[in-house]
Amino acid sequence: MAEDRVRSASRTWLSISVLGIAAFTMVSTEFAPIGLMTQMAVDLGEAQATIGLTVTLYAWFGALSGLLAPTLVGRVPRKALLIGLMLVIAASNAIALLSLSLEALFLARFVGSVAHGVFWATVAAFAMDIAPPHRTGLATSIVFGGISVATVMGVPAVNMAGQVMGWRGAFGALGLLGLLTAVSMVVTLPNLTTSASGREATLADAISERTLRPIYAITALIGAVHFAAYTFAEPFIAALPGIVPNAVPIFLFAFGAAGLLGSVLGAWLIDRFLHEVILCALTAMGLALILMGTSSTALGLAGVGACLVVWGAAISMLFATLQTWILKAAGPLATPAAAVHTAVLNTAIGIGAMAGSVLLDRWGTFTVMLGAGIGAMLTLGLALIPQGRRRQTI
């Protein structure tokens, strides 16, 4: 009997780990053009800014597609849905591999964005459903740890693959990874029936639920603030006094590695101190960004590196915590609430990147960091009130 329980628990956490790998594949696909931008621009005869639109539009189409999740979950078994989404991602990367024009590339990215939005609106709820009740925070942290690993390894690995095989070969490798992940999901994921409450709940219910609106607002602000700064982290680091070009990837790696550490730390704290994690992580992120925007010269390279580590750990904890918060607060509205939450976040990513671009053009990279830091502290104010009511939803 005990042996059966151990076997069942092992299978559960193996399934959740596979979902984390799926998350890694999704995020690596989303941001692949960032690591391949120069090659893609030269090969397709387009400006880098135009290739960059494939990331922005991917996020926005993903926001719209995420709203389809409640309908699909009500009609398609969730295991089959997640496997199908991974196959769509594999197909998207295959289309990108074969793209001979910008139009074909946009088609590939559109196909991937449709799967992307539905995936993020579905996967965390699935992980929470199969995890032990007292370990739902750990389950979502493992899934969202795929984001951190993609930040550490995904984009650099895609860039390396592009150097060896060309940008088309890099997309081909991502397509193969998506296919292998789909096969792993067939073997490991349990079959879960669709609950009646999931079918009855609608997007309108999730949008009109007052207790969820502050979570949507906080998510939008955090997403916009983070991506306003993160989109231009590379030029900010490259502009630091005394920096050498070969050191830039090291700083980016430190940021991503800290994100992975933040996911692990958050996994042990979310289930007991969810609201406190949000407040502390927001404070740390805001202070780190403000220091980088105002005192980079005084901090020196080591100080800026420390701020990047704090920022990376904080944002990773925030994304995992926000997803856990919305699912716990939503109750029977979990699926449509997750869909709205995903749409809000993806929309905020595009808006934040555009806002950061405006700041960069007018005042430079250091102002981008300062502006994002101020935005984080303003978001902290929203997260602080009203605490009493919000604790009840947690």
Q: For residue range 149-187, what is the model confidence (pLDDT) as tens digits?
A: 776 677 777 877 888 899 999 999 999 999 999 999 999
**Dihedral of alpha carbons 145, 148, 150, 153, sign:** negative
Distances, alpha carbon 119 to alpha carbons 25, 43, 63, 82, 85, in Å: 11, 31, 11, 7, 7
Q: Looking at the predicted structure, is the pLDDT value of residue 95 above 90?
A: yes
Per-residue pLDDT band for 286 (boundaries 50, 70, 90) equals: very high
**Dihedral of alpha carbons 136, 13, 82, 146, sign:** positive
Distance CA 214, CA 220 (A): 10
Smallest CA-to-CA distance from 307 within 229, 378, 380, 245 is with 229
Q: Looking at the predicted structure, is the pLDDT value of residue 47 above 70?
A: yes
- Are the CB atoms for 174 and 25 separated by under 8 Å? yes
Q: Kindly provide the residue ranges of all beta strands, DSSP E only, lying in the chain, ordered along the sequence.
A: none
- Per-residue pLDDT, averaged over 389-394, amounts to 43
Q: Looking at the predicted structure, is the pLDDT value of residue 335 above 60?
A: yes
**Of 72-81, 83-92, 302-311, 375-384, the least confident:** 72-81
Smallest CA-to-CA distance from 311 within 284, 345, 349 is with 284
DSSP 8-class letter at 101: S
What pLDDT sits at residue 76? Answer: 82
What domains can you pick out in the chain, each with its CATH number? 1-188 (1.20.1250.20), 198-394 (1.20.1250.20)
- Cis check: omega of the bond before 70, within 30 degrees of 0: no
* Backbone phi and psi for residue 202, each to the nearest 5 degrees, phi listed first: -120, 170
Terminal C-alpha separation, the chain:
35
Q: Per residue in 12-40, pLDDT tens? A: 889 999 999 999 999 899 888 877 877 88
Counting residues of the chain whose pLDDT is more than 70, the rounded percentage is 91
What pLDDT sits at residue 105? Answer: 94
